[in-house]
């Protein structure tokens, strides 16, 4: 297998972190999005959506979408379980994972793409009002996660899961690109961030 990756982007990091939690190593090829290395006929033939991460399977097929890739890895390497164990755990992991992926990550990405200098490489026609609206939404969602993390150790409950990976990659992407910082008063989110950032997989 081969993972098409870009170290500076949040979605490929989700997959790298997931692999690290599983103790699985897959060779990677870097696709520099800022330099437009994904916008080639060769890459488009692999993935018409021209996104990373993208997993090339041993039979020559291409699997896109971070969660699809992680689910495939989970099937191949069930331990430790990162999508939950019981029906209820799996449902709650799914719920929180989707909320991180669809409520926070797009808001952070919008603040980055429309509100930072480097974001221009991906969004040549930046809309400043969209950057502001995205930032406002990201802060609202961070506040919700802060409240949730006030009464549990990890996002979906007592166990670390893919929901934590997606939340961490979203929060860090905002901070690392200067698009959005976690406000100091979100103490529970900060406590959780310190804990998950200390996991060896966070370096992936
Ligand atoms: N839903 C996809 C999103 C993938 C995605 O948006 N990847 C970004 C990098 S984080 C990308 O490839 N962007 C290229 C572009 O916007 O041109 C997933 O979960 O993998």
DSSP 79: S
pLDDT tens profile 4-51: 999 999 999 999 999 999 999 999 999 999 999 999 999 999 999 999
Average pLDDT (175-189) is 97
- Which pLDDT value is given to residue 93? 98
Contact by Cβ (8 Å): 146, 186: yes
| In-domain check, residue 16 | yes
Residue where one domain finishes, among candidates 54, 76, 98: 76
| In-domain check, residue 82 | no
Q: Are both 172 and 139 inside the same structural domain?
A: yes
Nearest residue (by CA) to ligand 1, atom 5, is 51
Residue where one domain finishes, among candidates 30, 46, 76: 76
- Which pLDDT value is given to residue 108? 98
Average pLDDT (60-76) is 98
Shortest-distance atom of ligand 1 to CA 53 = 20
Residue where one domain finishes, among candidates 50, 76, 102: 76
| In-domain check, residue 138 | yes
CATH number of domain containing 123: 1.20.1050.10
Q: How many domains does the chain have?
A: 2
- Which pLDDT value is given to residue 47? 98
**How many CA atoms does the CB half-sphere of 22 hold within 13 Å?**
24
Average pLDDT (161-173) is 98
Pocket lining: 89 vs ligand 1, CB cutoff 6 Å: no
Nearest residue (by CA) to ligand 1, atom 14, is 51
Indicate whether this model's pTM tops 0.85. yes
Q: Are both 142 and 161 inside the same structural domain?
A: yes
Range(s) of the domain holding residue 9: 2-76
Nearest residue (by CA) to ligand 1, atom 17, is 122
Q: Are both 65 and 93 inside the same structural domain?
A: no
DSSP-assigned states of every residue in 3-40: EEE-TTSHHHHHHHHHHHHHT----EEE--TTTTTTSS
Pocket lining: 123 vs ligand 1, CB cutoff 6 Å: no
Shortest-distance atom of ligand 1 to CA 9 = 10
pLDDT tens profile 83-105: 999 999 999 999 999 999 999 99
Q: Are both 110 and 152 inside the same structural domain?
A: yes
């Amino acid at each position: 297998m081969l993972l098409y990756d870009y170290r500076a982007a949040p979605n490929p990091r989700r997959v790298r972190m997931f692999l690290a939690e599983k103790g699985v190593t897959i060779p990677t090829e870097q696709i520099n999005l800022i330099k437009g290395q994904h916008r080639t006929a060769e890459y488009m033939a692999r993935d018409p959506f021209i996104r990373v991460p993208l997993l090339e399977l041993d039979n020559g097929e291409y699997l896109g979408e971070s969660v699809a890739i992680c689910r495939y890895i989970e099937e191949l390497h069930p331990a430790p379980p990162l999508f939950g164990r019981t029906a209820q755990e799996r449902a709650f992991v799914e719920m929180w994972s989707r909320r991180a992926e669809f409520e926070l990550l797009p808001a952070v990405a919008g603040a980055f793409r429309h509100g930072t200098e480097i974001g221009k490489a991906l969004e040549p026609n930046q809309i400043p009002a969209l950057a502001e609206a995205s930032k406002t939404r990201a802060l609202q969602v961070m506040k919700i996660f802060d409240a949730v993390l006030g009464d549990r150790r990890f996002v979906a409950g007592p166990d670390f899961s893919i929901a934590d990976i997606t939340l961490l990659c979203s929060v860090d992407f905002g901070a690392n690109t200067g698009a959005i910082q976690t406000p100091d008063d979100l103490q529970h989110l900060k406590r959780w961030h310190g804990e998950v950032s200390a996991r060896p997989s966070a370096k992936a």
